[in-house]
């Protein structure tokens, strides 16, 4: 008789990290619907900068209608021709879309057995996809959970060089209201992750 496959045990701290990556990915992949706004409204934060960002986001989620946040999302990321922000690694690192950072990401995705979904037409180096990939790697949604070394390598190569800048731009964008605290949460979380990876490598 064969042993049942063991579900890998994920530390609570890592599950919470993955949840936050996935949450940011959801908010950045499209405008939140009523259900996601209602879920966001139940969040609470502590006295830290990250916690304050979460508390502000929860408050805005209670006050924001889906149609309002949809208009904001379109202004920020879609716009007429282009939105206020271009949330792609290639653009932030080279000034152009579909450049070397995207090619490097595709190589690493192929090595990990990750592929863009057939119904997704955005380049893979957009911020929402990278947040979702990181969350998936931590908990092993597409295979074995990534080791801390693998997580650190992926983060330092594809996220750390630009995500903090993007989230700061999102906080300061003219079109941002609901997305101001999304930027705060993302910026603070990227700082925490970068420091944790730096300390774990020491």
What pLDDT sits at residue 1? Answer: 47
User: Which residues neighbour 91 within 8 Å (Cβ) at sequence distance 6 or greater?
Assistant: 97
pLDDT of residue 7: 59
81-91 per-residue burial string, b: 16 or more CB within 10 A, e: under 16: eebebbbbbbb
Place of tokens 């929402």: 128
Domain residue ranges in the chain: 12-201
CA–CA dist 96, 86 (Å, integer):
10
Q: At CA 13, angle to CA 116 and CA 166, rounded to 5?
A: 50
pLDDT at 3: 46
Domain spanning 12-201: CATH 1.10.10.10: no
How does pLDDT run along the chain (202 residues), one tens digit per residue?
Answer: 444 445 568 999 999 999 999 999 999 999 999 999 999 999 999 999 999 999 999 999 999 999 999 999 999 999 877 899 999 999 999 999 999 999 999 999 998 888 777 777 889 999 999 999 999 999 999 889 999 999 999 999 999 999 999 999 999 999 999 999 999 999 999 999 999 999 998 7
Beta strands in the chain (DSSP E): none
Rg (CA), the chain: 17
């Amino acid at each position: 008789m064969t042993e049942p496959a063991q579900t890998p045990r994920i530390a609570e701290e890592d599950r919470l990290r993955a949840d936050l990556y996935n949450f940011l990915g959801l908010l950045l992949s499209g405008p939140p619907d009523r259900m996601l706004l209602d879920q966001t409204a139940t969040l609470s934060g502590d006295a830290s900068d990250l916690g304050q960002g979460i508390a502000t986001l929860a408050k805005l989620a209670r006050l924001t209608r889906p149609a309002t946040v949809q208009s904001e999302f379109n202004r920020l990321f879609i716009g007429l021709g282009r939105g206020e922000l271009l949330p792609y690694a290639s653009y932030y690192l080279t000034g152009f879309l579909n450049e070397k950072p995207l090619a490097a990401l595709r190589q690493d995705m192929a090595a990990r057995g990750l592929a863009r979904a057939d119904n997704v037409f955005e380049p893979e180096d957009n911020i929402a996809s990278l947040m979702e990939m990181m969350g998936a790697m931590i908990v092993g949604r597409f295979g074995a959970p990534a080791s801390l070394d693998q997580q650190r390598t992926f983060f330092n190569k594809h996220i750390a060089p630009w995500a903090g800048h993007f989230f700061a731009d999102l906080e300061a964008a003219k079109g941002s209201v609901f997305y101001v605290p999304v930027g705060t949460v993302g910026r603070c979380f990227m700082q925490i992750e970068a420091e944790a990876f730096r300390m774990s490598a020491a």
